[in-house]
Amino acid sequence: MSVALRVRRGAYVDSVTLMRVAEAVRRLPGVAAGALLMASEANRAALREAALWTAEADDAGPGDLVIAVAADADETAARALRHAEELLAARRESGGAPAAVRPRSLVRAARDFPDANLAVISVPGVWAVNEASQALAAGLHAFIFSDGVSLEDEIALKRRARERGLLVMGPECGTSLLNGVGLGFANRVRRGPIGLVGASGTGLQEVTTLLHRLGSGVSHAIGTGGRDLHDGVDGITTLQALELLGRDAATRAIVLVSKPASDRVAAHVLAAASGIGKPAVACLLGWRGPTPPGIHTTATLEEAAAAAVRAAGGPVAPLPAPSLPRRRGAGPVVGLFTGGTLCEEARALVGDAGSRFVDFGAAEFTQGRPHPMIDPVLRAAAVAATGGDGAAGVLLLDFVLGYCAHPDPVGAAAPAIREARALAARAGRELTVVAHVVGTEEDVPSLAAQTQALHALDVAVYPSNRLAALAARELAGGPGGR
């Protein structure tokens, strides 16, 4: 065994650094023991006891650093000493302070950002409930895009929120537009006198964009989540939203939009809307009940938009005339939609018999993958397949523009449309394609650009979902096709 030792006079090094270097030295191959100590009386004794002392350090004092190594050979020991000195001399760069970390919880983020007034939640169901609970505890409204939240959890969250004067928009809330800022899927629309409440995201998008195109504008659009008008939830968020819009000075008329709802809850909500004292228009798809005084009910979203513009006292600008397709076939309508409410509305207008409607936003298509407005792959495949479907005469499509949507929905569908046409042509058929684009000229890409792209594909473009559906029915040869 070879012991080597070096004394560094007057070289104070703190004990933690010394321990760290000693640890590194002891890990070197061939090194049996290593110590770096200031040569105090106690440390000298410790080194002697460990047989790490040689005479050359006898005159070292408390202010001197002793580096001692025991190794299997002289050369190994010398190398270990050099290594220790290198480590002591090394200036380890930290690379600067680490960047501020992203907060790991909603609570933490809320503390860092006291300006926040809402949480946007898109994590999966059971975790969304936890995040929404945190949001409410932190005094934040919640916009919950997530699906997979149980009805029971939704009810509990909304009741708690109501107690605290907070809104839970969702779960499965696609759209809100608050003071001109879109949450989730939303379009760039003019600010104006009309406030909306909707248990339907695409319903809100269709009406807000139509209000814009009809020359009016939107104060706020509050999404409630698709089940808000179900029994059990009792329209909690809808009622809160109606109250907010009732008090909002910028809102002169109110539009209520929903997919089919519980009759009891719908009646309750309509009664509440009629009590606000502002003109109100309701488009509750499938609603057949009585209408309370002061409420104008409509069967379609486009009619709701037009009625609201009139109710707010504005002129109604005309919608552009559609471009009819050059090539026309006939036969049953196949409606392939990314927007659930648009799909429902079209189905109601065209009729079910012989026709086929698919909502690609339904849960069966969104398990583990993004919404079709973001990821158009599944619908594109279905579009292409229509060409080989002998029972398809008219293909009816929606394209939804705006925040969070695919950056070029028409472009993404174009190859599939061409393929469907080609397949149909090979079978000696002609496929008519009819579309509606939900958007405004201010959206990116713009309504005009997407419309032009559709024209280039020989697709007939109609200015509302209603008009597109009616045209499809007409082209098919009457209700339900021939």
Partner 1 sequence: MGGDTLLDRAPAAINVGADLFADSLASQGAGVRRVDWQPADAPRELARVWTARVETANRRAAAALLGAHAVLVDVRPAIDVIPGMTPDTILHAGPPVEWTRMSGPLRGAVIGALLLEARATSAAEAERLAASGAVGFAPCHHHASVGPMAGVTTASMPVFVVENRAGGNRAYSTLNEGLGKVLRYGAFAPEVLDRLRWFRERLGPALGEAIRRAGGIDVRAIIAQALQMGDECHNRNRAASALLIKALAPHVAALDLAASERERVLTFAAGNEHFFLNVGMAACKLAADAAHGVPGSTLVTTMARNGTDFGIRVSGLGDRWFTAPADTPVGLYFTGHGPDDANPDIGDSAITETAGLGGFAMAAAPAIVQFVGGTPADALATTRLMYEITMAESESYRVPALDFRGTPTGIDVRLVAQTGVLPQINTGIAHRQPGVGQIGAGLVKPPRACFEAALSALVRDAGHG
Check residue 123 for interaction with partner 1 (CB under 8 A). yes
Q: Using CB under 8 A, which of the segments 228-236, 244-252, 273-281, 283-291 binds partner 1? A: 244-252
Minimum CB–partner distance for residue 360 and partner 1 (Å): 18
Give the integer Cα–Cα distance in Å for 98 and 397.
50
Minimum CB–partner distance for residue 188 and partner 1 (Å): 9
Q: Using CB under 8 A, which of the segments 130-138, 309-317, 320-328, 418-426 binds partner 1? A: 130-138
Give the integer Cα–Cα distance in Å for 10 and 64.
5
Site map 384..413 versus partner 1, x via CB under 8 A: -------------------xx---------
Site map 133..162 versus partner 1, x via CB under 8 A: xxxxx-xxx-x-xx------x------x--
Report the DSSP beta bridge partners of residue 5: 68
Cis preceding linkage at 415, omega within 30: no
Q: Using CB under 8 A, which of the segments 17-25, 360-368, 390-398, 447-455 binds partner 1? A: 17-25
**Window 210 to 239, contacts with partner 1 (CB under 8 A):** 220, 222
Check residue 17 for interaction with partner 1 (CB under 8 A). yes
Q: Using CB under 8 A, which of the segments 31-39, 329-337, 351-359, 386-394 binds partner 1? A: 31-39
Nearest to 171 by CA among 187, 190, 154: 154
154 or 419: whose CB is closer to partner 1?
A: 154
Q: List CB contacts of 435: < 8 A, sequence separation 6 or more.
A: 396, 397, 398, 399, 454, 459, 460, 461, 462, 468
**HEC string of 417-464?**
HHHHHHHHHHCCCCCEEEEEEECCCCCCCCHHHHHHHHHHCCCEEECC
Which position among 66, 178, 394, 449 is part of the footprint of partner 1 (CB under 8 A)? 178
Q: The tokens of 408 are what?
A: 């070029």
**Window 411 to 450, contacts with partner 1 (CB under 8 A):** none
Which position among 1, 19, 317, 456 is part of the footprint of partner 1 (CB under 8 A)? 19
**Window 63 to 102, contacts with partner 1 (CB under 8 A):** 92, 94-98, 100-102
Which position among 1, 9, 12, 23 is part of the footprint of partner 1 (CB under 8 A)? 23
Exposed e or buried b per residue across 5-30, where buried means at least 16 C-beta atoms within 10 angstroms of its C-beta: bbbbeeeeeeeeebeebbebbeebee
Nearest to 130 by CA among 157, 110, 161, 109: 157
Element (H, E) at 8: strand 2-8
Check residue 54 for interaction with partner 1 (CB under 8 A). no
**Window 350 to 369, contacts with partner 1 (CB under 8 A):** none
Check residue 1 for interaction with partner 1 (CB under 8 A). no
Q: Using CB under 8 A, which of the segments 115-123, 330-338, 418-426, 460-468 binds partner 1? A: 115-123
Nearest to 274 by CA among 261, 256, 289, 288: 256
Backbone angles phi, psi at 241, to 5 degrees: -65, -40
| Residues contacting partner 1: total by CB under 8 A | 81
